[in-house]
Structure 1
Amino acid sequence: MSLTLASLAAAWGGCATGNASGDTTASSSSSSSGEGGAGGLGGGGTGGVGGIDFDAGGAGGQGGACVSTSAEARRIPLDIIFLIDQSGSMSGAKWNGTKSALTTFFNDPASLGIGAGLVYFPTQEPYDCNPTHYALLDVPIDALPTNAFPLTNSMPADATGIGTPTYGALKGALSAAAAYQDTHKTHKVVVVLATDGEPLGCEPKTVDDIADLAESALDYNGVRTYVIGVAGSQLTTLNKIAAAGGTTAAYDITQDISEFAAKMAEIRQVALGCDFEIPEAPNGMEIEPNQVNFTYMPKGVGMPKLLPRADDLADCKDLPGWYYDSNAGPTKIILCPASCTTVQADSSAKVNVLFGCNSILN
């Protein structure tokens, strides 16, 4: 799905009540009525939006017609910290391919607005295993394309580092990512590790130790770890790190470094995901989390289709729907994988968040 969905419309609503002047209809408001039941991604009822009956007695009925006011929302901003292996084994064609792929990504119009930072490992000090050295990014996070030149200009002519301190480097990069996520709570921060070899040159650390770092960052505040395996790497090792970091498996370019750019484009699409901000309520209204609904309009035309709400990712059960990042204190709306795949593939899709009627549950 293209970034056009960043301009989705959200509707804040409540049941129609009189105001000081006796008017029962809010400005820029709308109400829907009908007798249809709750509709899924593939269909809806005969009335309402996606089959919701917004009048009294319907699934979302509040004892009167719901009145909504539009507010603008946008996709959750994405920030990526790149952790790039510059050990000597990456020199030559592999390094040239890495630089080319990153240059393409940083300057691609599809990357517009993505925050990007970068750190190389090892540092110029041989076998530098100190995590704090990698927590200090070589290029701090800033939005693309503004940061494109500092990022590309930082790339050395060739990879000449000594050692592959994967544990220390990943610990430092994840620390930086977690700290950035803590101070940018409405953003989505991820780490992309690209390497061609097994850990080398530091105190003994198993692949499980390294995977535990990725799992800890994911558990702490949701930072995911994507992994790209360049020729020379052991995919079984990298797959374990990626799985622990919440991204299932490493991206395999062991046979062809020229695939690096394509894999980066895949990561961009997946990492952008289907996370949407919950917009601030207009006119001093407050969020009622249990009075939120989400609709998807294929190709941007026709009848919106209701996506039911799930409790969490596990409750999606491979079915269409959405859920909150936190039911106790929601800050994001996240589409279930089945709906995310559908919406991302539809560049003309329109999605809406509707407030004021009881959530339709899966």
Structure 2
Amino acid sequence: MENRSTMMALAATGICAIFAACGGADGSVSGGGTGGATATGAGAGAGSGTGTGSETGSGTSSETGYGPDEPGGTNAGSSTGTGEGAGGGASCAGETSTAELVPLDLYIMLDASGSMEDPLPGGFTKWNAVTEALEAFFTDAQSVGLGVGLQYFPLPDEDVPEQCSSNAQCGDNGPCALRVCHDSFSTRVEICVTDADCADGDTCVDLGVCSRNGDLCADVDERCTDGGGTCWKVTRSTCANPDSCVVGDYATPAVPIEPLDAGRAEVLIRSIAQKDPVGGTPTAGALSGALAQARAHAEANPTHRVVAVLATDGMPTECTPKDADGLAALAAEAVSGTPSISTFVIGVFDGDDDGAQTTMDRIAEGGGTESAFFIDTNEDVTQAFLDALSAIRGKSLACEYQVPAPSSGQTLDYGTLNVQHTPSNGGTPSTIFYVANEASCDAAAGGWYYDVDPTTGGTPTKIVMCPATCTRFQEGGQVQLAVGCKTEIPPVN
């Protein structure tokens, strides 16, 4: 969107989840803790009540070693007990423990460019509507415990002079805003140096300011409209692109990522209240910074799921790349990295200006979230933006679970864990097959894998659902982890 800094200078889804930690096999884990509880909303569930269970039966199973697609851990080997092993009617006995969804953290990169002050039907500005939705989300009971951090874009480039009288003084942030395209001036300010910078047939002329009311004008020495006086030539102005493209500026949060409670929500709300939208849209710098901060936070909190949320109302005007493919590549690099960082996009636009929806969708697709939440300014922007945030919270929460901690003095056998799901309609429970890694996910059947492959000697911290399984889990139901029976893998065709 247009650079308002120049003008101003001149002007959950909740998933019910239960872990069943079953023991009794050599090297397996007997989970302890409270049972029968559910985990909903943004935080990990805290339950009450005791959950011990036992089943009697006869028979033994001997399982020697694991195949190449099975998650054999350091204790993988033979086991004895009442279970029948993979593919059978497993009957493990043990205690149940409360499920814990992986803690979710959002780093929100919020567009605070000048165009966010554009009015909406009904008198609100886009800034009013979006920030009202953010405040409602921060204070929503389902957001309690959700980690949230916040930064804005654009941020000023500290090396840019406050005023300029020549293009040379602005360097790469120029030109100095001393000339504008004449014919377009009545609808938008376009800074130029020569006629070649303007649309065909338009001319680059000196910028002026009305002597009486201070309005900008483009007909120097002529009379301004509405009694504004004479249009005087501007000799000192501001650099046309004063905004930062430095990734580190945007990677430093205005409000650091911390779990939401009433006090933290108030900190975020106060930060927003102190922000005045102004400037252009340096999308590449802002997105790169958001991904860098999300990655750093994820590295410091390896048991958390951390995602970036880019909320914008404009096409890129500053920083490179500006094209959809280039921005999508930034997001794709982050989602394929370690730790993996997904990018959600919320776009607020007056229709599909300049291919806005395609650009926003490409960034989201690159960031592993399929498509952007695209909000038309003719709808209820506040409600639509709040719905988008709630959907992001739900989509992120349904797909990753914490690896259960073993009992004191024991080591978890990663080859004896199974994921089971019971639909919300009370249908028959099903076992989700282990698929080793994301690349092995079946597009239709789904599956699950550890965030770190235990066969490489690493220590997993998360149980991750494949996309198809994640979609199923978002519809609700119960998710159980059964420990003690050989992990089930897809049958060989």
Q: Does the aligned pair in 1 maintain the 2:15–2:473 contact within 8 Å?
A: no
Q: State the secondary structure of the residue aligned to 1:227.
A: strand
* Aligned match for 2:347, one of 229, 251, 254: 229
Aligned residue number for residue 318 of structure 1: 444
CA distance in 2, matches of 1:205, 1:303: 50
Distance 1:309 1:159, change over 3 A: same
Aligned residue number for residue 103 of structure 1: 135
Query: Shift in Å at residue 59 of structure 1?
Result: 3.4
Larger radius of gyration: 2
Distance 1:104 1:66, change over 3 A: closer
Distance 1:83 1:300, change over 3 A: same
Determine whether 1:274 maps to 2:399: yes
* Aligned match for 1:357, one of 485, 489, 493: 485
Report the aligned-residue RMSD.
3.0
Q: Does the aligned pair in 2 maintain the 1:14–1:357 contact within 8 Å?
A: no
Matches within 5 A, 1:79-228: 79-91=105-117, 92=119, 93-124=125-156, 126-145=242-261, 146-156=263-273, 159-202=276-319, 205-220=322-337, 221-228=339-346
Query: Shift in Å at residue 262 of structure 1?
Result: 1.2
| Partner deviation per Cα, 1:56-112 (whole Å, 9 max, x = no partner) | 655378xx9854343444000000010011110111421111111111111111111
**Stretch moving more, 106-115 or 74-83:** 106-115
Q: State the secondary structure of the residue aligned to 1:14.
A: coil
Q: TM-score by structure 1 length?
A: 0.81
Q: State the secondary structure of the residue aligned to 2:310.
A: strand
Aligned residue number for residue 51 of structure 1: none
Matches within 5 A, 1:53-72: 55=82, 58-59=85-86, 66-72=92-98
CA distance in 2, matches of 1:120, 1:310: 40
| Partner deviation per Cα, 1:4-26 (whole Å, 9 max, x = no partner) | 636x2230423279xxxxxxxxx
Query: Shift in Å at residue 195 of structure 1?
Result: 0.8
Q: Does the aligned pair in 2 maintain the 1:117–1:141 contact within 8 Å?
A: yes
2:371 maps to amino acid: A
Q: State the secondary structure of the residue aligned to 1:197.
A: coil
Distance 1:84 1:16, change over 3 A: closer
Distance 1:204 1:299, change over 3 A: closer
Query: Shift in Å at residue 357 of structure 1?
Result: 1.2
CA distance in 1, matches of 2:267, 2:112: 17
Q: How many aligned positions are there?
A: 331
2:109 maps to amino acid: L
CA distance in 2, matches of 1:320, 1:219: 19
CA distance in 2, matches of 1:90, 1:312: 42
Distance 1:210 1:84, change over 3 A: same
Query: Shift in Å at residue 193 of structure 1?
Result: 0.3
CA distance in 1, matches of 2:259, 2:82: 45
Q: State the secondary structure of the residue aligned to 1:110.
A: helix
Q: Does the aligned pair in 2 maintain the 1:84–1:121 contact within 8 Å?
A: yes
Aligned residue number for residue 30 of structure 1: 54
Q: TM-score by structure 2 length?
A: 0.61
CA distance in 1, matches of 2:291, 2:399: 23
Determine whether 1:13 maps to 2:23: yes
Query: Shift in Å at residue 355 of structure 1?
Result: 1.3
Q: Does the aligned pair in 2 maintain the 1:60–1:357 contact within 8 Å?
A: no
1:114 maps to amino acid: L
1:194 maps to amino acid: A
Q: Does the aligned pair in 2 maintain the 1:123–1:161 contact within 8 Å?
A: no
Q: State the secondary structure of the residue aligned to 1:90.
A: helix
CA distance in 2, matches of 1:271, 1:115: 12
User: Structure 2: where are the runs of 5+ without partners?
Assistant: 1-11, 28-50, 60-80, 120-124, 158-241
2:336 maps to amino acid: D
Q: Does the aligned pair in 2 maintain the 1:15–1:65 contact within 8 Å?
A: no
CA distance in 1, matches of 2:126, 2:103: 31
Q: Does the aligned pair in 2 maintain the 1:71–1:281 contact within 8 Å?
A: no
Query: Shift in Å at residue 241 of structure 1?
Result: 1.1
1:230 maps to amino acid: V
Distance 1:338 1:11, change over 3 A: same
Q: State the secondary structure of the residue aligned to 1:286.
A: coil
Q: State the secondary structure of the residue aligned to 1:280.
A: coil
- Bigger proportion of residues as helix: 1
Query: Shift in Å at residue 300 of structure 1?
Result: 9.3
Q: State the secondary structure of the residue aligned to 1:117.
A: strand
**Stretch moving more, 265-274 or 65-74:** 65-74
CA distance in 1, matches of 2:289, 2:99: 33
Q: State the secondary structure of the residue aligned to 1:309.
A: coil
Query: Shift in Å at residue 134 of structure 1?
Result: 0.9
Q: Does the aligned pair in 2 maintain the 1:12–1:282 contact within 8 Å?
A: no
Q: Percent identity?
A: 37
CA distance in 2, matches of 1:350, 1:324: 20
Q: Does the aligned pair in 1 maintain the 2:395–2:474 contact within 8 Å?
A: no
Determine whether 1:289 maps to 2:404: no
Query: Shift in Å at residue 201 of structure 1?
Result: 3.0
Q: State the secondary structure of the residue aligned to 2:126.
A: helix
Q: Does the aligned pair in 1 maintain the 2:364–2:371 contact within 8 Å?
A: yes
User: Structure 1: where are the runs of 5+ without partners?
Assistant: 18-26, 36-53
| Partner deviation per Cα, 1:151-205 (whole Å, 9 max, x = no partner) | 1111146753212111111111111110000010000000100111121133564
Q: State the secondary structure of the residue aligned to 2:278.
A: coil
CA distance in 2, matches of 1:224, 1:33: 46
Q: Does the aligned pair in 2 maintain the 1:127–1:165 contact within 8 Å?
A: yes
Q: Does the aligned pair in 1 maintain the 2:136–2:386 contact within 8 Å?
A: yes
Q: State the secondary structure of the residue aligned to 2:415.
A: coil
